[in-house]
Structure 1
Amino acid sequence: MLKYKNFFSVLGQWIFFGTIIGIIVGSTTAFLLETNDYLGEVREKSGWLIFLLPLGGIVIGYIYMNYGKVLLNNTLHDASELNNLVIEGVHGKKKVLRRMGPIVYLATFITVIFGGSTGREGAAVQMGGSVAEIVNKFFKVNIFDIKILIMCGISAGFGAAFGTPITGAVFGMEMAALGKLKFEGLVPCLVASFVGHFMTTAAWGHKHEEFIIQTVPEISFITFIKVILLSVIFSLLSISYCQLRHGIQNATEKFFKKNHMKRAFVGGIIIVVLTLIVGSQDYNGRGLDMLEQSFKEEVPPFAFLAKLVFTAVTLGTGFVGGEAIPIFFMGATLGNTLHSFIDLPLSFLAALGLIATFSGAANTPIAAFLLAMEMFNGKGVEYFFVACLVSYIFSGHHGLWPSQKIYEPKSRLYNIANGETIENIEKKKNP
């Protein structure tokens, strides 16, 4: 009897904490999405705002340098590490700062209105981690459960940001490590993600973007071969972005001695120059218009490359925001471009690129597959399953977040030791 009493006691706690985190994160994410939409519209109507991006970079750098660092137990906890700090919080290495959420929201808004190339889920995930830390402080949760609460925050933020609650639940358990799903957080992550999603949509009335696959090709051996080859190409795209983005970050941090104000100021100038060279602002901001267009009609053939460079420079020099939307943009527009060479439906290629590139970059193949199911209403399930796994394997041990821990290598094809992080592996390759 005592065993069942303990079971239901713990279950009740997880449902309670998941609900609390879901309500708060769902509400703050609705605010994030609505504000981002409004600021994006303001920027599109006022093209001159792009010239203020370098000054916006100085403000963001000042905020993170003066308010984003806390020294606890001789360990520096730096909010400028963004999602990496959240991941290290899940692993128990560092503490997610309660102030991290408000700071990342403000920095994301500044980046968006002045034309930095960025998304929004990063801010939602970091707010989720921040809210989890507040809940932990208020209820005095034990040290083992803190990690699970942070996973709840991740799930609530991702599920609410994209309107994909099932994906959000799994993403919170899969994001922190390669080769291991932290099923210990299943119940609270599921509750937090669904509550967050319904708060954003039902309670606050936010409507998410829709990407529609017009036609899915018939299942055939030839089509599967094409999907596999395409997925390898999309995995290379994910590697290219991750390497360039982290390369720019490492180089600018070293050159400017981690002065975020100088880094972002110079990065802002580079984005302004790139915008003038391109002659349009299609690659500034979130790029949702061209992303949606890639499912319906042809887009410029090198749109994916332009977005890759704009986003890598924006985030690599210290601006703030999510990387999922830019990754979606790159993958979908590359798929759109490949339509000229491969006899597959346009919208299907765009969808395949979106999902496969995200799977390779985020190292979350199960969440990416579920994202395809929720985003495209279950169409092409066989193809997306293969695409997620192929891109995940062929992208190697690279990724958006260097703090991701490798519990097991992706394949025996790679001679990688267990327990390493992506960051350590990169350092060993480039001593």
Structure 2
Amino acid sequence: MEPVLFGCRFLTQYYKQLPLLRHIIKWTYFGVTTGVIAGLGVTLFLQLLAWAIAVWTQVPYYYFFIPPVLFLNSLLVQWLAPGISGGSDKMVEAIHQKAGYLPLAEVPVKIIATVITIAAGGSAGKEGPAAQLGATLASAWGRFLQTTDADCRQIVVCGISAGFAVVFGTPVAGAIFAVEVLFVGKILYDTLYPACIAGAAGYYVAYFTGISYVYRDIIIESSCYLAMGAIVLGLLCGAVSVFFIKTIQQCGRHFDRLQLTKPVKALIGGIMLTFIAHFISPLYLGLSTELLETGVHGDSIPAAAFFWKTVATAVTLGCGGTGGIIMPVIVVGTAAGNLFGQLIGSVDIQAYAVIGMAALLAGAVNTPIAAVIMAAELYGSDVIPYAAISCLISYIISGHRSIYPSQMIATGKCPAFLTDTGNTVRCAGKTQAGASKNPLQVSRD
């Protein structure tokens, strides 16, 4: 009799686990297929961008051509797809308010406009467009499969993960970024598994189709001085995050106030970028990979690099240039960390540059965990404790601000900010002034 009872109990427990097994199988399939689709699309985008940059930068004094190129680029966008304005924040907004819907028809124009902007010398990033491209392809895939709105949202998150992972070669950080970037103070743990699968799938697709990645383990000797330096750098990066976000916003508002057509605004922005390149330095144009690599290597870079890179990015995006904002955040953070190491006369300038990179990403994007993991994947595990300290401080200091205004505030960063809970970052602090809360309410569990 006992074997029969044992067998019944076993079958009962087995059937209770079947929904979990079905869930794993379902989201493994969705994660792999979404990762492969997004990985192929983003890989094509990166190869096209690399080719365009290599060709265009061979032109002597290429930055003198930025004004007419941005003018023509703006005409192209205005003619073919005026709806692509709004940048990478659109993917966050789509998940919160549009059930993950992102129009596929805009993808070709978005890719071409981004490639033209960055290759010509516009200070913008490739990570944001890559994540948005992955999200858009994932949205189309979810609609093709006729999934529910809830499933489509999760598939779009998988696309963000794959896009981020392909650009950096950091599949784990890509997954964490995708589930962390949507909310301030909340992580979508139910989406973490498919996001990890999609990030890994996208990464291997890119790797086997010719995208190469450079990983550099930096050796850090543990010390109290470095820990104290990380605390101070976290405070500074929080302040720089606020400066960066405010500069981007104010520059955009100033261009919006101009009673001019969008192509003319782009022409003016191009003239300003040419001025920066000719009279300050061309280091602040495009992706600024040379500035980033020099800073991370520990060599000295211009003291005002973080300032001019911020200004160049604000002008590029404010005048209507198409591109992402995460890469400029990373470059500005690296420059700030490098400068901090120089000012205190530290021998750990390389470490401070990496910590600054992660801390500014945490403060400006509200993704402290993804920032720490990305630093570890790119530069080794020695940086983790110091980056964690700095990232969390920067995240708190930046307050309810973000380069993605559509982020939802799930939990306030401190008790004084709890009234912002349930709002978007865009509406933070305005509830008591009469602004209505976002209709999407967020639970605190």
Normalised by the size of structure 1, how large is the TM-score?
0.91
CA contact (8 A) 1:403 1:423 kept: yes
**Which residue among 54, 63, 66 is the counterpart of 1:53?**
66
Alignment of 1:252-263 (within 5 A): 252-256=255-259, 259-263=261-265
Match of 2:146 in 1: 140
Residue range with higher mean Cα deviation, 316-325 or 241-250: 316-325
In structure 2, C-alpha distance between the alignment counterparts of 1:238 and 1:41, rounded to whole Å: 31
Are 1:421 and 2:424 an aligned pair?
Answer: yes
**Which residue among 216, 220, 232 is the counterpart of 1:216?**
220
Unaligned runs of 5+ in 2: 1-13, 436-445
Displacement of 1:156 in angstroms is 0.6
In structure 1, C-alpha distance between the alignment counterparts of 2:97 and 2:41, rounded to whole Å: 25
CA contact (8 A) 1:25 1:153 kept: yes
Unaligned runs of 5+ in 1: 70-77
Match of 1:283 in 2: 284
Are 1:100 and 2:110 an aligned pair?
Answer: no
Displacement of 1:197 in angstroms is 0.7
Match of 1:338 in 2: 340
Match of 1:166 in 2: 172
In structure 2, C-alpha distance between the alignment counterparts of 1:239 and 1:182, rounded to whole Å: 26
In structure 2, C-alpha distance between the alignment counterparts of 1:256 and 1:193, rounded to whole Å: 43
For the residue of structure 2 that corresponds to 1:155, the secondary structure is helix
Residue range with higher mean Cα deviation, 163-172 or 88-97: 88-97
For the residue of structure 1 that corresponds to 2:403, the secondary structure is coil
Displacement of 1:412 in angstroms is 1.7
**Which residue among 88, 101, 105 is the counterpart of 2:93?**
88
Which amino acid in 1 is paired with 2:383? G
Match of 2:232 in 1: 229
Q: Structure 1 residues 62, 416: CA separation in 2 closer, same or farther (over 3 Å shift)?
A: farther
Q: Deviations over 1:32-86 (max 9, x none)?
A: 22222222222332144323322332343334434435xxxxxxxx431222211
Match of 2:156 in 1: 150
In structure 2, C-alpha distance between the alignment counterparts of 1:63 and 1:418, rounded to whole Å: 40
Which amino acid in 2 is paired with 1:331? G
CA contact (8 A) 1:99 1:130 kept: no
Normalised by the size of structure 2, how large is the TM-score?
0.88
Which amino acid in 1 is paired with 2:376? M
Larger Rg: 2
In structure 2, C-alpha distance between the alignment counterparts of 1:120 and 1:248, rounded to whole Å: 21
CA contact (8 A) 1:49 1:113 kept: no
In structure 1, C-alpha distance between the alignment counterparts of 2:382 and 2:108, rounded to whole Å: 38
In structure 2, C-alpha distance between the alignment counterparts of 1:47 and 1:427, rounded to whole Å: 49
Q: Deviations over 1:258-304 (max 9, x none)?
A: x53333222112111222221x3111111111211112311122112
Match of 2:329 in 1: 327
Displacement of 1:313 in angstroms is 0.9
In structure 2, C-alpha distance between the alignment counterparts of 1:292 and 1:14, rounded to whole Å: 37
Q: Structure 1 residues 162, 256: CA separation in 2 closer, same or farther (over 3 Å shift)?
A: farther
In structure 2, C-alpha distance between the alignment counterparts of 1:293 and 1:340, rounded to whole Å: 13
Match of 2:194 in 1: 188
In structure 1, C-alpha distance between the alignment counterparts of 2:272 and 2:162, rounded to whole Å: 35
Alignment of 1:14-413 (within 5 A): 14-68=27-81, 78-93=83-98, 95-201=101-207, 203-213=208-218, 215-220=219-224, 222-256=225-259, 259-278=261-280, 280-294=281-295, 295-344=297-346, 345-413=348-416
For the residue of structure 2 that corresponds to 1:81, the secondary structure is coil
Displacement of 1:7 in angstroms is 3.1
In structure 1, C-alpha distance between the alignment counterparts of 2:396 and 2:239, rounded to whole Å: 11
Displacement of 1:163 in angstroms is 0.3
CA contact (8 A) 1:175 1:362 kept: yes
CA contact (8 A) 1:87 1:404 kept: yes
Count, aligned residues: 418
Displacement of 1:223 in angstroms is 3.2
